[in-house]
Chain A
């Protein structure tokens, strides 16, 4: 099975680069190769000019990795102790480590939990601790693999602010993978859309969105949802479609990218034939999700 196929990209200093793609697209595999956790079967990859295979130990001084939903550390140790421990894996001196740990606890609002055992933290705070750990060596390149997975809205916003301000300190690079289109749009300087191991598009969010023709993006709310999405995908003029169901209200939202509006009448006929009722419809400004739909044909869901 090929996890990554002909991926060719360059991420610059002072840049937040986002990799957008569904599960199994190859995002984590790429990050693991760059973090020296996996050896590529073919091809080359460099971090700050250093080869990930031949100069792995030098690269490890420059990087750190934060994987969302993961809670590395020792449950029996407190927040402060865990951060101190991880700082020692980077050889930070005692006073320097103490200072760095204290600052990180301030930045991630962990001070009130400094002496709380990790095992007693809520999932959100464990994730904050994980993020703090990622900054403990002040890496030149930070890999964030789905960093806001499982975080509440406030914590996720906090993380984005932190990453934004950190990158402004200069000489830093962030490679972020995410499912969340809005997150990539808000945070990333450039975005690569990856599917089945291939990079399908790579540009700034603005340029990517501009590639979806104005007026081609539609949002339709229906109830009940469409059971046979495949028949709709095959309507002439349909570039891509995604359906998101709201279980609570029973309303489904269709995001459509149309080549031309003549596809709309066929679409409405199909919706009627499905027994569904249109509640609301309208054109929408292209988003990164629309870019994804236009490239892959379906949404991330």
Chain B
């Protein structure tokens, strides 16, 4: 097979996997309603709390953006990281392993489909949040905001690809690990409150939080969308997000190869109900 044929096969596989994710997630309309509607309840609780204690009106907007970004993290954890586990249980992993496609292409398809799907939900959450809670946005540099948003999604989903590789051999542990990573990241990244630049949060915790792509992206988007910043305000964030993606992507590829080889050696890739 020529390199071109290989590339075409992998692109087709990535597109098909993306299509499955888009089709699968949007066929059930109830899911869409739940995924947009339920986060609004959590967001609402924080917005009301912040208004009650007299925080600035921007705090509400920050919460809405945080709530929208939470949707991405949830998607990364459950529909990326733990995905090989579900695929193995349903017998699909074997089919991916027998097919002449790179597993990275399949993961890329999952990531593209997942991010597009979640973007639709995130837009829904923001629009509904703004409509209900009437919070102000100051978007002076939409291009930078969009750019930072794309970089954040790329970094988050690359992290998801790496987790997916690590979770490849896991059984139920994948489920528990995803659970374990969910709430702490909501907390550390400051989805519902400012986790960094807040004296009340210890420095060590702030430093840890700053290593999570979601924290960096969330902070940059808030600066651009709420506080009227432009690209000069967030250039460090941009560099950090690019660095995250550049480091995580090859790591994901390597760990995927390693785990696949280990799984084949130990016969664990095709074991079910672990």
Contact = CB atoms under 8 A, between A and B. Distances in A.
Interface residues of A, number: 31
Interface string B244-273: 000000000000000001001101011000
A92 B92 CA distance: 19
- The prevalent SS among residues of B at the interface is helix
A35 B98 contact: yes
A133 B264 CA distance: 23
Interface stretch (B17-25, B184-192, B200-208): B17-25
A65 interface: yes
A39 B24 contact: no
Given A85-B20, A89-B16, A90-B9, A72 B97 contact: no
Interface in A12-56: 32, 35-39
A148 B257 CA distance: 34
A85 B28 contact: no
A36 B265 contact: no
B1 A89 contact: no
A221 interface: no
A277 interface: no
B264 A37 contact: yes
A67 B91 CA distance: 9
Interface string A70-91: 1111101100010011101111
Given A37-B98, A37-B269, A72-B94, A88 B264 contact: no
Nearest to A64: B98
Nearest to B87: A72
A119 to B, nearest CB: 11
A107 interface: no
B99 A89 contact: yes
Interface in A95-133: 133
A61 interface: yes
Interface in B1-58: 1, 5, 8-9, 12-13, 15-17, 19-20, 23-24, 27-28
A72 B91 CA distance: 5
A88 B91 contact: no
Given A67-B91, A76-B28, A91 B98 contact: no
B100 interface: yes
Contacts of B5: 91
B95 interface: yes
Contact of A36 (B92, B97, B267): B97
B232 interface: no
A59 B12 CA distance: 19
Contacts of B267: 32, 38
Contacts of B175: none
A37 B12 contact: no
B40 to A, nearest CB: 25
B13 A91 contact: yes
A70 B28 CA distance: 25
Contacts of B98: 35-37, 60, 63-65
A70 B269 CA distance: 15
Contact of A77 (B24, B100, B265): B24
What 9 A-B pairs have minimum CB-CB distances, sorted nearest first?
A91-B9, A88-B16, A89-B99, A60-B100, A72-B91, A70-B91, A61-B100, A39-B264, A76-B24
Interface of B: 1, 5, 8-9, 12-13, 15-17, 19-20, 23-24, 27-28, 90-92, 94-101, 261, 264-265, 267, 269-270
12 contacts: A39-B265, A65-B95, A70-B91, A71-B90, A72-B90, A72-B92, A73-B92, A81-B23, A86-B99, A88-B12, A90-B99, A133-B95
Given A38-B267, A91-B8, 12 more contacts: A32-B267, A35-B98, A64-B98, A67-B91, A72-B90, A72-B95, A77-B20, A77-B24, A84-B16, A88-B15, A89-B99, A91-B13
